[in-house]
Amino acid sequence: MPTDFPGLIGLALIGTIPVVVVGALALRVVRDRLLGASMLILVLIPTVATLTGFVAVSRMMFTDELERVAVVLAVVTAVTVPAAVLLGRAQARQLVWEKQMLDQERKAERSRRELVAWVSHDLRTPLAGICAMGEALADGVVRADDDVARYGRQIMRDTSRLSTMVDDLFEMSKIAAGALRLSLEPVDLRELIDEVLAAAQPAAHRAQIDVAARQPPTRIMVAASDQALTRVLTNLVANAIAHTPTGGLVEMTAGTDGGQAWARIRDTGPGIDDADLPRIFEAGYRGKAARSPSDNGGSGMGLAIAAGLMSVHNGVVTARNLEQGTVFEIRLPLLSGTTAHE
């Protein structure tokens, strides 16, 4: 066995370089896929390289000293490998969480930009109309009583629309900030559906659309804010009526399954483009297809408000296309003691 340092270094390199090369190749294979495995490989590379370096320097002579080194390395490996795996998993979870947060921030920023652009566009239209008609009335351009009355009614309609937009923006800001607090009480979901259906009858009649409800005979009790849950159902029904052609049908159904209460609003409209479905509950989002959540003259935030209010109820709202039309579904926890039925 050589005792000069250059010889020892040469033997150590011969024993360690192959281990480092194999470890680097292994890291390249698992990179960006298995963080825990990467941490394990990083721990094993110096440990195994140290052992093979000692073996190479001893020229495969397994002396007592080499055995002691091997024992020490085995103990170190037994301690560090489990720790590396645990640290790798924790780091992987942290990276996934950070990526999800970054994606959510980017999504929220994109939604904010679109909402600002939508608000600046849609508020201009009624404001421009109000200004033009107000100037015409003030300048005496319009003098006939019928025209004055018509201008007055239009100004009232545009003002009401602006007021609705501002109210919806205020409600959306509270939902987005997590500042909305609701008082939840036992509520029969069937009663709310009956009330919403009765309130929707005039609009459906004007649009020449049939509205109907099919409900079970037993109560569907949920913990909810009567006003907020009614708002959810009203927004969904109004959206369905606005996108159902003349002679179509909007049907509401309700039931329970798996410890949850559900209500569905089905229409016979043109449906929603598949590319738009994941984003229709974003405030002010306009789809590329003919059916868009904000093309009916409303505030454009009805579906976003419905989704926000459902989250406060620990529930969800979803949408899917049928062969003809679309069905929106809300789900929220069922109060104990309610008879389950489909």
DSSP for 292-316, written as a single string: -TT-SSS-S-HHHHHHHHHHHTT-E
Looking at residue 59, its pLDDT comes to 64
SS3 assignment, position 257: strand
265: amino acid identity, one letter: I
Looking at residue 177, its pLDDT comes to 67
331 — phi, psi (to 5°)? -135, 135
257 — phi, psi (to 5°)? -165, 145
Domains of the chain, each with CATH number or no CATH: 5-99 (no CATH), 106-176 (1.10.287.130), 185-333 (3.30.565.10)
User: CB atoms < 10 A from the CB of 293, how many?
Assistant: 28
User: CB atoms < 10 A from the CB of 182, how many?
Assistant: 15
- The whole-angstrom separation of Cα 91 and Cα 97 is 10
pLDDT tens over the chain, length 342 residues: 445 667 767 776 776 788 778 877 877 777 666 666 777 777 777 777 777 776 766 665 566 776 777 777 777 777 777 776 677 677 777 777 888 888 877 776 776 676 666 666 667 777 888 888 888 888 887 777 777 888 888 888 888 878 777 777 777 777 766 667 788 899 999 999 999 999 999 999 999 999 999 999 999 999 999 989 999 999 999 999 999 999 999 999 999 998 999 999 999 999 888 888 888 887 766 665 444 444 445 556 788 889 989 988 999 999 999 988 999 999 999 987 555 444
Q: Would strands 185-188 and 221-224 be described as parallel, antiparallel, or unpaired?
A: antiparallel
SS3 assignment, position 140: coil
- The whole-angstrom separation of Cα 87 and Cα 81 is 10
The tokens describing 40, both together, are 């394990």
- The whole-angstrom separation of Cα 321 and Cα 304 is 18
> What order do you get walking across the sheet with 260-267 strand by strand?
210-214, 249-257, 260-267, 326-333, 316-321
- The whole-angstrom separation of Cα 69 and Cα 75 is 10
Contacts of 255 (CB under 8 A, 6+ apart): 216, 220, 261, 262, 341, 342
Looking at residue 222, its pLDDT comes to 94
E strand residue ranges, the chain: 185-188, 210-214, 221-224, 249-257, 260-267, 316-321, 326-333
Q: Identify whether the C-beta of residue 299 lies closer than 8 Å to the C-beta of residue 164.
A: yes
- For residue 179, give Cα distances in angstroms to 171, 311, 319: 10, 12, 26
